[in-house]
Structure 1
Amino acid sequence: MANQNSTSESQPIKQIICIKWGTKYGAHYANKLYGMVSRNITPPFRFVCFTDDTTGVRPEIECQELPPLDVTMPTNTLGKWPKSRLWGEKLGDLTGTVLFLDLDVVIVDSLDPFFEYGDPEDVILSYNPSNPLEKLGQTSCFRFQVGSMVSLQEKFKADPQGIADKYRFEQRFVTRNVPGGVKIFPKQWVAHFRRKCRQPFPLNYFIPPKIPKGARIVIFPGGLYPTNAINGQYTSKSADNAVDHLKQLKDPKNLKRSIRHLRHFILPVDWVKEYWRE
């Protein structure tokens, strides 16, 4: 019987996974992610979406049920913890190495190096620029072997709220608790949109955000989504033009943090629209 992770010519199949639950991300996020993956990877590959709703998902995507995890997810925490479903001994019908991608990333270059870096058994996270002294990883894009993170899931299941209260963010828990430690992809491969792409004040009013040199994936943490970048919004509630953004300085809340408010403006980003499509 042939190994499900290889073709008949013994070429390894690159396995990409994502997870979609609830109503925050519609099917178009999974569809666009698949489109970007298919344009930026050397076949053969599998694209598996673990989801509780397959409505509208394009047929090329393998939809599988959300991995079971009988716990009450933490509340009143900044971090998001449902990715803990991926840490179990089994992950649908997948075995071997998988590359996880958040639904709202934008892929701008080949994903092949993510499967070539390090050793197959390594847990490899993206570089996290938010806390450089803490040397945290980022799980918007990370690679692991199915079943290699069971000990993390067991710790989490024993006290979900306690773990969340202690670590705050799921990526901190992963970074600190993976057996044998984590490795980090080259930091330029995964670019944080706000930190690495947008222009500093006052250039942000004249020059749109750029793709950093060496970037392969751009991630969008913190309430700024690809649609906002396309429209020239810093968040979903932000003005989409400089005039209205500057008018918002009259708000006492913004006036107290005037420099911060002035920095929080971006021009529409055409390259996000170019890459983020089916």
Structure 2
Amino acid sequence: MKGSEQTVNVICMKWGTKYQANYVNTLYRMVNRHLTRPFRFICLTDNNKNLLPEIETFPIPELDIPDGPERGWNKLVTFSSPLYDLEGQALFLDLDVVIIDEIDCFFEHEAEFPIIKDWVKTDVTGNSSVYRFTVGKHAKILENFRKNHNTIRQKFRNEQEYLSQYVSQMGELSYWPNTWCKSFKYNCIHKGVIAWFKVPKKPKNCKIVVFHGNPNPPDAIYGKSGKWYRKVLPTPWVAEHWR
């Protein structure tokens, strides 16, 4: 067990076929290299095949809405109370992130509910690729969704818009320091013709690089952008960390 601090939780989620087991295993290894305090690594999943034995797995709790969830709304079940036997601080991480520096600071940061400030939205919306919460303390987020899911899904495009708005209204929302979480798409890939000649830049003072949309980390390593209009050269620093 690492360190002498209280054990914290790192939670991820895998369902369906979009992400294979190697994404979860790679995320665990990155956390293990970059978090010095003792931690439990939990994957909420509908398929725990081929996951490393160090990874604790639990079934994804039910959203309990009549017509089932669209992709993404599942994240709200992290606010279930109880959430199995978990307690204390929990850091949620999407599977398509690359950890490039120490992440103890995400547990040391004094805030009730920190999340990434969305890179495009100008309102309160956060990007839920990285957020921290106290297990069992925010059950009303899920309860309100279950009660008003039809209205909520008409008003909000996705789970992170609803989550940010709700927590903001409770006066508990805050954002990680600007340099900690960067977007590979918006902050690393060069714009225009220069992208054909320069490797995507590794952001300074960054802890976690978020790969939302295209490309994903394996594609960035090999220089596949996933979009005809976006050029991405093979990116060695992603390969260095995504392992």
Q: Normalised by the shorter chain, which TM-score bucket?
A: over 0.9
Match of residue 11 from structure 2: 17
Flag structure 2 segments of 5+ consecutive residues without an equivalent: none
Q: 1:10, CA displacement in angstroms?
A: 6.2
Matching of residue 193 in structure 1 with residue 184 in structure 2? yes
Match of residue 164 from structure 1: 153
Q: How many residues are aligned here?
A: 239
Match of residue 274 from structure 1: 240
Match of residue 73 from structure 1: 68
CA distance in 2, matches of 1:145, 1:101: 15
CA distance in 2, matches of 1:271, 1:161: 43
Q: Secondary structure at the match of 1:202?
A: helix
- 1:138 corresponds, among 110, 114, 127, to 127
CA RMSD after TM alignment = 1.7
Match of residue 210 from structure 1: 201
CA distance in 2, matches of 1:223, 1:73: 26
Match of residue 149 from structure 1: 138
Q: Which consecutive aligned stretches of 4+ in structure 1 deviate over 2 angstroms post-superposition?
A: 72-75, 159-162
Q: Secondary structure at the match of 1:204?
A: helix
CA distance in 2, matches of 1:148, 1:222: 30
**Cα deviation per residue 1:101-146 (whole Å; 9 max; x = unaligned)?**
0011000000100000014xx1110121111x21321110000011
Query: What is the aligned-residue identity percentage?
Result: 38
Greater Rg over alpha carbons, structure: 1
CA distance in 2, matches of 1:41, 1:230: 24
> 1:6-155 counterparts in 2 under 5 A?
11-71=5-65, 72-75=67-70, 80-119=72-111, 122-131=112-121, 133-155=122-144
User: What is the TM-score normalised by the length of structure 2?
Assistant: 0.92
Contact kept? 1:17, 1:49, Cα under 8 Å = yes
CA distance in 1, matches of 2:131, 2:164: 11
Q: Secondary structure at the match of 1:159?
A: helix
* Distance change >3 Å, CA 209–CA 10, structure 1 → 2: closer
Q: 1:169, CA displacement in angstroms?
A: 2.0
User: What is the TM-score normalised by the length of structure 1?
Assistant: 0.81
For residue 61 of structure 1, what is the amino acid of its counterpart? Answer: I
